[in-house]
Structure 1
Amino acid sequence: MNAANSAAVVVGVDGSQPSLRAVRLAAAEAVRRHRPLRVVHGFIWPLLRVPVAPPSGAPPGVGLRERAQELVAAAVAEATTPGLTVSGEIIDGEAAAVLVGESPTAALIVLGDRGLGGFSGLVVGSVAVQVSAYADCPVLVARGEQRPDGPVVVGLDGSPASLLAADVAAEAAVARGVPLRAVHAYRHPGSSGPGDLQPLVYDEARLHDEQERLLGGWLHGLTDRHPGLRLTCRATRERASAVLAEASADAQLLVVGGQGRGEVTGLLLGSVSQSALHHARCPVEVVRGPR
């Protein structure tokens, strides 16, 4: 393996069923990308000053660190695939912090949508949201259904993050041999400049045509950069979160930028990408930072 492909796909595990689904998804991604897979478990107990060794006189294998070693070994066994290099490691620290710490040298971070520590009422866990917001590489959250024949979907709004997401999604679609479906949601005409107000009356058909042209411009050159890409695009007057949730219903992957146009300055994860993590019906890849 050359240096360009040495960065690993990293998957976070905690022994939960969502994390095991993430392991299987991560293994498939690593094979597809010709990269090694690294299984990581954030071992928080030393930070809480909890004894991690077995109590005196206890049978072997009952200590917290031994249990962590067992769950990492089980995840490595789950991921083992012919031709795939898999390694596992226990790293002292809180799960989100450990995974964010892995991100500068990772090709991709993969994790489940919920973990063992999640509250029962949460749709997506705090670790998934935190890692998606702070990681220096794309983050893939395993949620929804696995549909190997479904298209890859990408949401665009013209922001730099969404344009990067379009290239990531195109690469994923070509690798999977499926079409890429690019969607753009709009609500009202945009202002023409700072301080300008949106018009109260406008031509709906003309507005739609303008948004379609915008979408086409954002996608210009994408098929040239990704030979073999089958691309469809659609602009829809609707809330972006609703459009992406609907588009994910038959997709195998939804790709979104970490922050789009109109997001509040200072937020590390935009509202649309957060909504995708909570409501998508397929795995979600959040693109931010270097690839």
Structure 2
Amino acid sequence: MTTVIDPAADAALKARHAAMWALGDYPKVARQLISGLGAELVAATRIGPGDRVLDVAAGPGNAAIPAALAGADVVASDLTPELVASGRAAAERAGAQLDWRVADAEALPFGGAEFDAVISCVGVMFAPFHERSAAEISRVTRPGGRLGLISWTPEGFIGQMFAVMKPYAAEPPPGATPPPLWGREEHVADLFGETFDDLTMERRTVAETFAGASGFRDFFKANYGPTIATYRFVGDDPERVAALDAALDALAAEHSDASGRMEWEYLLVTATRR
């Protein structure tokens, strides 16, 4: 079944998404919590000199900058202008040369078969219509080119955090798919199985440590756009705010050891364009 897209409604939705990711300080989240994932993705996708690479939903450049430092010709694209600006500044500090573009993952402004590798590190999973962004990734990857993705799993901590926040958040747009499904093997196979071969999927974890459950909650309330947006949605209801506080604290406590250390699960995907 083909979904009919209303251009005006789609533009308004994307404007809201871009504004959400500009809330707080996502570059701080990426820098302090998941800085190593980008280099891991670049290595898994075998990116190096001579490769033309697209990072979709690149954020502040966690994967795009390591790809450029590995010698690739990199385009870093993201829906949120503030993240593009932050990534450009980070690349300059790192001495990396990249082409930065404000772009929608569901309507990439690039030609077909333009890239040797297309990657996304916990980025494209947040585009609301998964089939559209997957089709765009397939379109711009050349035959024989590589795909590399890192996505949070539904069963892992971040996937569970979104499940906890869902009752307190605004309703998603009609037809949207939950972001953590990009971390489920069957879903990825459905999205890319007809256009990519050699689909390899491996669940891994990254360790994070906070000063107790409230330390996690306070950090995300201050810095992570989706969490900030959820609190704003219930901000005029003190009881719901308190209930959300308690739910996030309980989730963090469940996933933490005595030292406040957590293991966050993600799915690493690599494949070759048919």
Alignment TM-score, normalising by the size of structure 2: 0.31
Q: Which has the larger radius of gyration?
A: 1
Alignment TM-score, normalising by the size of structure 1: 0.29
